[in-house]
Amino acid sequence: MKIILVPTDFSKNSINAIEYSIELAKKENAKIILLHAFHVIHTEPN
């Protein structure tokens, strides 16, 4: 089984990368995992 991990921030450039990976996955008969990670800044209330 082939899996393509596609990290993304859903910007215009990353959408192009997602579309490219979809086409690549079709050709290679692979699955795609989209990864969107972010860091939450926690602040204490005053």
Q: In the prediction, which pLDDT does 20 show?
A: 96
**pLDDT tens per residue, range 27-45:** 999 999 999 988 888 888 8
The ranges assigned to domains in the chain are: 3-35
* Residue closest to 36 by CA, chosen among 1, 25, 17, 23: 17
pTM: 0.73
